[in-house]
Amino acid sequence: MSGAVVHPLPRPVVTREVHLVRRPHGFPEHDDFALVDRELTGLGDREVLVANHHFSVDPYMRGRMNDIPSYVAPYALGEVMDGRAIGTVLASTADGIAVGDLVRTNLGWRTHGIAPATGVERLDVPDGVSPSAYLGVLGVPGLTAWVGLLDVAGLRDGDTVFVSGAAGAVGSLVGQLARLRGASRVIGSAGSSAKVAWLTDELGFDVAFSYRDAPVRRSLRAAAPNGIDVYFDNVGHDHLEAALASANDFARFAVCGMIAGYNDTADQRSPGVRNLAEIVRKRLAIRGFIVTDSLDRNAAFLQEVTPWVAGGHIRSRETVVDGIDHAVDAFRGLLRGENTGKMLVALHDS
């Protein structure tokens, strides 16, 4: 990522990085990763040295740990895992980016890093918004929710909307956006009673339930006696089966992810979905999407959602794990659903 060093730093900076050293088989283990310290000594032209404050761990990263062709290249073994991060500029040879600027980069799981200017985005954070929001509700997860609900599922006034993984970074915004955009009923599933309480008591979901309490199909039928018109899928499997069973005619499904199967292996796979015939019977439209196809929608997304966040109409939460040494714990916790809202790693000492 760094070019020829033509601008030595006043003194070297030591960065600690998380490298992928073995491709996980099923659920990721600590030994799949290694902590590596490296010394950064200087910058090339048009480069920026950043001290990360926070970086993001996201479900999609599990897919990148496999060596299969996908919409983003797999992580290379022995390399740092990139991903969205925010931090402060410590040194810069790039026009328009100055020491002290708050920036968003793709530097990922490390304390410090050097990025080309083209991979650095200066953040102007309005009053009432925390910088880390640009990794969550105003970041890629927020754009994912907005694009999926509005562009992919085509939310309409009066729709009943069901979102799985509703207490996650994406799902919690889907529900709130649906409410603000005219849905008549918003239903969410999550993995604990505390999350369920957060959804209904603070985020304005009409109904929420824990998928651990009862079969999802039964819970959803009780929550949506008149059926659902939109399903935003973060989970797949039993949640998708339930949504198919409760779908109204001509319902639209935006499929964002299927975290339930992310750790499947060739010899141990989640059960298949059995009621796909509902697709015909109910004339369903099911569309998968990936937010990176819709980055041109980011300006419109921020224009609509930033005031809602700043004004408190949209709420968000972060689950913050402290320290680069616990990044793998954060990621494993994410896959187990231990987060409420956006899962972040904070680097207070950098």
Write down the least CB distance from residue 26 to a second copy, Å.
Answer: 15
Q: Does 290 bind a second copy (CB under 8 A)?
A: yes
Q: How many CA atoms lie within 13 A of 153 on its CB side?
A: 32
Are 24 and 77 contacting, i.e. CB atoms less than 8 angstroms apart? no
Which two structure tokens, joined as six digits, stand for 137? Answer: 């509700």
Which two structure tokens, joined as six digits, stand for 145? Answer: 């929710």
Which two structure tokens, joined as six digits, stand for 230? Answer: 């939109």
**Closer of 142 and 236 to a second copy (Cβ):** 236
Q: Report the candidate in 132, 21, 167 with the shortest Cα–Cα distance to residue 80.
A: 21
**Closer of 129 and 259 to a second copy (Cβ):** 259
Q: Does 166 bind a second copy (CB under 8 A)?
A: no
Place of tokens 């006043």: 10
Between CA 307 and CA 81 the distance in angstroms is 33
Are 18 and 30 contacting, i.e. CB atoms less than 8 angstroms apart? no
Q: Does 218 bind a second copy (CB under 8 A)?
A: no
Q: Does 240 bind a second copy (CB under 8 A)?
A: yes
Q: Does 261 bind a second copy (CB under 8 A)?
A: yes
**Closer of 289 and 308 to a second copy (Cβ):** 289
Residue 26 gets the label, from left (phi > 0), alpha (psi -120 to 50) or beta, of: left
Q: Applying CB under 8 A, which part among 114-122, 167-175, 176-184, 251-259 lies near a second copy?
A: 251-259
Between CA 168 and CA 170 the distance in angstroms is 6
**Closer of 282 and 332 to a second copy (Cβ):** 282
Q: Does 242 bind a second copy (CB under 8 A)?
A: no
**Beta strands 342-346 and 47-56: pairing type?**
antiparallel
Q: How many CA atoms lie within 13 A of 248 on its CB side?
A: 12
Task: Pick from 108, 139, 175, 236 the residue near a second copy by CB under 8 A.
Answer: 236
Write down the least CB distance from residue 174 to a second copy, Å.
Answer: 15
Write down the least CB distance from residue 215 to a second copy, Å.
Answer: 15
Q: Does 289 bind a second copy (CB under 8 A)?
A: yes
Restricting to residues 45-74, name those near a second copy by CB under 8 A: 63, 70-71
Task: Pick from 45, 293, 322, 325 the residue near a second copy by CB under 8 A.
Answer: 293
Task: Pick from 102, 125, 273, 300 the residue near a second copy by CB under 8 A.
Answer: 273
Between CA 19 and CA 242 the distance in angstroms is 38
**Beta strands 160-163 and 185-190: pairing type?**
parallel
Restricting to residues 71-100, name those near a second copy by CB under 8 A: 71
Question: Taken in order 302, 307, 313, 318, is the CA torsion positive or negative?
Answer: positive
Q: Applying CB under 8 A, which part among 163-171, 212-220, 224-232, 250-258 lies near a second copy?
A: 250-258
Q: Does 235 bind a second copy (CB under 8 A)?
A: no
Which residue ranges make up the site for a second copy (CB under 8 A)?
63, 70-71, 236, 240, 249, 255-258, 261, 269-274, 276-290, 293
